[in-house]
Structure 1
Amino acid sequence: MRPASALLAPALLAATTASVLAFPVTVESCNRQVTFEAPPTRAVSNDVNLTEMMLALGLADSMAGYTGVSEWVKLDERLRESTGALPELSPDYPTKEVLLGADADFYFAGWNYGMRVGGEVTPDTLAAFGIKVYELTESCIHIMEKPKASMEDMYNDLLNLGRIFGVEERAEALIADYRQELADFIASLPTAQTAPKVFVYDSGEAKPFTAGRYAIPTALIEAAGGINIMDDVESSWLEVGWEPVIARNPDVVVIVNYGQVTAEEKITFMRENAAFKDIPAVVNDRFVVLDYVEATPGPRNIEAIKRLAAAFLPS
C-alpha cells in the first residue's frame, strides 16, 4: 500500500510541505507576541464576523466550531452555507469548560468580542490549557493604545490568521482583492461638496450605544465619504447621552441591525421622539441599515462601505 502522502496530488503535497516548512511563526496580537509551532487543528472563533473571517480564508476544516452568535444575531443564508456542519459550541461568550470540552487548541476572539478584561476567558487563563489566543485588532484599544480604526485593522487580522494557519498566500490574495475593490469603488464616487455628519445607532433608548473613534464604523463611514460625529470620542463601542447626538446634528443615522429590537423599531423610535424632530437625519428620513456582520470588522466591510456611500449621496 502506498503511503498516505503518495495519494496527494503533487500541487497539494507541495503546498502542504511548504506550509509545514513555514513554521514556527510568530504574530503580534495586541501587545503580545504569540508563536505557533504548527497550524491549529481545533480552532474556535467567537462572534459572527470573526467566524466569517476564518471561513473566508477556507479554514473550516481546521475548526472545532464557533461561539457567541445566536444569542445576538442569526446566521444569514451566506453564513449558514459557509459554516456547514460546524457546531455552535455556545450561543454567548464561551466558558473555559466549553473550550476545553471542544478540545480547542486556538481561540480567535477579541476584547468584548468573546473576552472581557479580568474575565475567566483571556489569553492568560487559556494558556495554562495549551489554548493559544489571537485577539481582534479593533478590540486592542481596551488594553493598549492604538491608532484610530481603519480598514488596516481588518486586513491585519486576515494576514495574521493566514500566517497562523499556514495559508499566508491565500490571505494576501484576499486582502489584495479587497484593497482593489475598495480603491476602484472610491475612485468611482462623485466628488462630494460636504461630508455628511453620521451617527451610528447600535442600540439603547435611555442612552444610545454607538461607535467612537476606535470602532470600525468610523473607518467605514470615512471610506464612504462621511464623518462619524463621535470621531473625537476616545473609545471604541460605548454608551453616550442623547444630548451630544442632538447637539452634533447628524445628517445620516446608521442603524446596526441585530438583537431583539429590529432596525425598523429603532428608526421608528427616532422618528417619533420629539427630542429628535429637528435633527436633519430625521427631518429628511436619512437612515441606512447595516447588519451586525457588516458593522463589525470582517469580510463584509467593503459591502458596508458601498451601502453607506449610496446613502450619503445627496437626494
Structure 2
Amino acid sequence: MKTFIAHSAFALMVLAATPALAYPVTVKSCNRDVTFDAAPKRAVSNDVNLTEMMLALKLQDRMVGYTGVSGWKTLDEKLREGVQALPELSEKYPTKEVLLNADADFYFAGWNYGMKVGGEVTPETLGPFKVNVYELTESCIHIMAKGKPTMDDMFVDLLNLGLIFGVEDQAKALVDGYRRDLDKIVASNGAIERPTRVFVYDSGEEKPFTSGRFGIPTAMIEAAGGVNVMDDVEKSWTEISWEPVIDKNPEVVVIVNYGEVTAEQKIAFMKSNPAFKNIDAVKNDRFVVLDYVEATPGPRNIDAIARLAKAFHGQAM
C-alpha cells in the first residue's frame, strides 16, 4: 500500500534528555542546539497554531501571554477558552520591547510566524536578554536546507516542548495518540493508485497565495492520499500566478479560512471566474474548507487530515 508518508529526518531533532524533570535539557531548534537550565516560567507564543500547541500540553500556567492573533485573524472560541486568563501582548508580530516588558523567558515562534529573517525579533537579538527561542520546525526552511515536511515536523515540536517544559510524558502520550489516529486514516484510505490533485487557496484574487512544497499542507494532503499540485514550488507559503493552477487542473481546492474574505467568498470567486471553468474542482464543486489553525502546524492537523481523506475519496465536505 502506497501511503505517501515519509519518515522525516527531522524526527531526529528530538534529543535525548536526562531523566524526567532533570535539567539541563538540550533540544534542536532549526540549526541551533538550545539548552534550558530550567523549565520556562514566563513563556510567550505567537500565532494561533503555536499557542494551541502550548494549550495541548496544558502549559497555560507557564505563560505570560501570546501574540500575533487578532491582528491577522479572529480568535476562535476553542482557543479563547484556553487563553482567557492570558493577555494578547501584541496584535501582530511583537517587538523586542513587548517581550522584554512582559519579562518573558521563552518565545515560541517561527520564521514568518512571529519572526522575520534579519528582523528585530530573532533568537540572536533575544539571546542577550536571556529569552530562549524555540522555532517552529516547518518554518526552518527559511534559514536552512530542509526536506519536504511530514507530520513528524509537528510531532517533533510537541515532543521538544515536552522536554523544554518538563512534561515529556504528556507530550509523548499526545503524540502517540496522534500517530495512532494518523495510521488509522492511512489504513482506511487503502491502496491508492493515483493521488488526488489538490490546490491550496489561501488568499488573493489577482494572484493566489498558496502553500508550496515546504508547507505543512503538503504533508497533510499526502497523508490523506493526495498530492499538492504546487509541490514543485520550493517555498512553504508563497504568491504565484493563476496560470499553473489552471494548467495543473486540481481535482480538489482546499480553502484556508481566515481574515476579512470569507471561505464562501473565495469559493464564489473561483466558481464565477470564467478562467477557472475547466478546472475539475470548480466543475465538480469539490472544495474543502480548513480554518487557518487547521492548515498550519498544530494539534488540529490530524482531524483535518481525516476530513481531507474523506473529501479526496468521496465528496467534499
TM-score (norm. length: structure 1) = 0.92
User: 1:210 touches 1:238 (CA, 8 Å); kept in 2?
Assistant: yes
1:85-164 map, 5 Å:
85-164=85-164
**Structure 2: which amino acid aligns with 1:122?**
T
Pair 1:237-2:260 in alignment: no
1:256-275 map, 5 Å:
256-275=256-275
In 1, Cα distance between equivalents of 2:258 and 2:109: 19
Query: Relative to structure 1, is the Cα distance of residues 159 and 20 closer, same or farther in structure 2, using a 3 angstrom cutoff?
Result: closer
Instruction: Note the alpha carbon deviations across 1:200-230, whole angstroms, 9 max, x for none.
Output: 0001111111011110000000011110001
Pair 1:195-2:195 in alignment: yes
Instruction: Note the alpha carbon deviations across 1:13-55, whole angstroms, 9 max, x for none.
Output: xxxxx98851000110000011000000000000000000001
TM-score (norm. length: structure 2) = 0.92
Give the CA deviation at 1:192: 4.0
Instruction: Note the alpha carbon deviations across 1:272-312, whole angstroms, 9 max, x for none.
Output: 11110100000001010000000000000001101111111
Aligned to 2:13: none
In 2, Cα distance between equivalents of 1:244 and 1:279: 11
User: 1:19 touches 1:166 (CA, 8 Å); kept in 2?
Assistant: no
Aligned residues: 298
In 1, Cα distance between equivalents of 2:177 and 2:136: 21
- Give the root-mean-square deviation of aligned CA atoms: 1.3
In 2, Cα distance between equivalents of 1:99 and 1:264: 37
SS at match of 2:65: strand
In 2, Cα distance between equivalents of 1:190 and 1:139: 31
In 1, Cα distance between equivalents of 2:121 and 2:94: 8
Query: Relative to structure 1, is the Cα distance of residues 270 and 307 closer, same or farther in structure 2, using a 3 angstrom cutoff?
Result: same
Instruction: Note the alpha carbon deviations across 1:65-90, whole angstroms, 9 max, x for none.
Output: 10000112222221111113111111
Aligned to 1:180: 180
In 1, Cα distance between equivalents of 2:183 and 2:30: 27
In 2, Cα distance between equivalents of 1:221 and 1:242: 20
1:289-304 map, 5 Å:
289-304=289-304
In 2, Cα distance between equivalents of 1:265 and 1:195: 28
SS at match of 2:64: strand
Query: Relative to structure 1, is the Cα distance of residues 21 and 257 closer, same or farther in structure 2, using a 3 angstrom cutoff?
Result: closer
Q: Could you list the runs of 5+ residues in structure 1 that have no partner in the other structure? A: 1-17
**Structure 2: which amino acid aligns with 1:295?**
A
Give the CA deviation at 1:233: 1.4
User: 1:208 touches 1:241 (CA, 8 Å); kept in 2?
Assistant: yes
In 2, Cα distance between equivalents of 1:123 and 1:294: 27
SS at match of 2:159: helix
Query: Relative to structure 1, is the Cα distance of residues 238 and 140 closer, same or farther in structure 2, using a 3 angstrom cutoff?
Result: same
Query: Relative to structure 1, is the Cα distance of residues 89 and 306 closer, same or farther in structure 2, using a 3 angstrom cutoff?
Result: same
Runs of 4 or more consecutive aligned structure 1 residues displaced over 6 Å after TM superposition: none
User: 2:138 touches 2:149 (CA, 8 Å); kept in 1?
Assistant: yes
Aligned to 2:54: 54
The structure, 1 or 2, with the larger RCO (C-alpha pairs under 8 Å, 6+ apart) is 2
Give the CA deviation at 1:186: 2.0
